Structure 1
Amino acid sequence: MVRMMKALFVMVACMVVTTPYTEAAINCRDLVTKLLSCLPYMQNGGNPSLSCCLGVKSINDAAGTAPDRRAACYCMKQASGSEPSINRNNSAILPDKCRISLPYMISPFTECSRVK
């Protein structure tokens, strides 16, 4: 009985962890690729390039549903925290610099489960 309860717990935990990704039609690799031109800005500041801002816009446009926005948020959260050379302040204000309103900050500290 204890073994079955543990197996059930693990199965439910796996479903909860993967739910934000499986509900959405967002591909994390595609999103990160769209932000590659933003890397110089996120590392050094200044002004983001036009191609960077177009990438941010395309990410925003692709996330048309709440599950898509949450999936995009989780992806951006993971990507922004995985590269130590990224200045977190620069990545957090990137959408504002591009004059695009994202429903989340690009930050490893964003609480994506709250994104609507």
Structure 2
Amino acid sequence: MGLLMALIWASTTTTTIKPVSAAFSCSDAVTALSPCGPFLITTGGVSAPTAECCRGAQSLEGMATTVQDRRALCECLKQTGPSFGVDPEKARQLPPLCKLSLNIPISPDVDCASIG
């Protein structure tokens, strides 16, 4: 519960995070991924995402339907992922494990302008 509250608090109090689009915000995206915290966070100690995590991750596909949305979501994840301690390797594992067609890296090094 502490991780969830930290994710929600950080996503709503950080002023440098840009809105993902008019349809939803970065805090919506972070909230959708909050069930993935135990899997994605380095110290979470969980070896596979839960069904709830995958449902949350899959909901991002419905939110990010345009190139602009996907690039904005990329920027959101780029900014928030490292601050929450997201393990980049676990983040790379999430799309195939949750059967996502949307594959936006959670990494400080990603070029979000290249997301199509």
* TM-score > 0.5, shorter chain as reference: yes
Identity across the alignment (%): 35
Q: 1:23 deviation in Å?
A: 5.9
Q: How does 1:1-116 map to 2 (within 5 A)?
A: 21=19, 25-43=23-41, 44-84=45-85, 86-116=86-116
SS in structure 1 opposite 2:107? coil
Q: What count of residue pairs does the alignment treat as equivalent?
A: 97
Q: Output the CA distance in 1 between the equivalents of 2:65 and 2:39.
A: 26
Amino acid at match of 2:87: N
The answer to which structure has the higher helix fraction is 1
Gaps of 5+ in 2: 1-17
- Is the 2:20–2:26 contact (alpha carbons within 8 Å) kept by the matching residues of 1? no
Q: Output the CA distance in 2 between the equivalents of 1:94 and 1:41.
A: 9
Scaled by the length of structure 1, the TM-score of the pair is: 0.73
Gaps of 5+ in 1: 1-19
Change (3 A) 1:67 1:88: same
- Is the 1:26–1:68 contact (alpha carbons within 8 Å) kept by the matching residues of 2? no
- Is the 1:26–1:62 contact (alpha carbons within 8 Å) kept by the matching residues of 2? yes
Cα-to-partner distance string for 1:55-114 (whole Å, 9 max, x where unaligned): 110011111111011111111111111123x22210122111111122421222211111
Q: Structure 1: which 4+ aligned runs deviate by more than 6 Å?
A: none
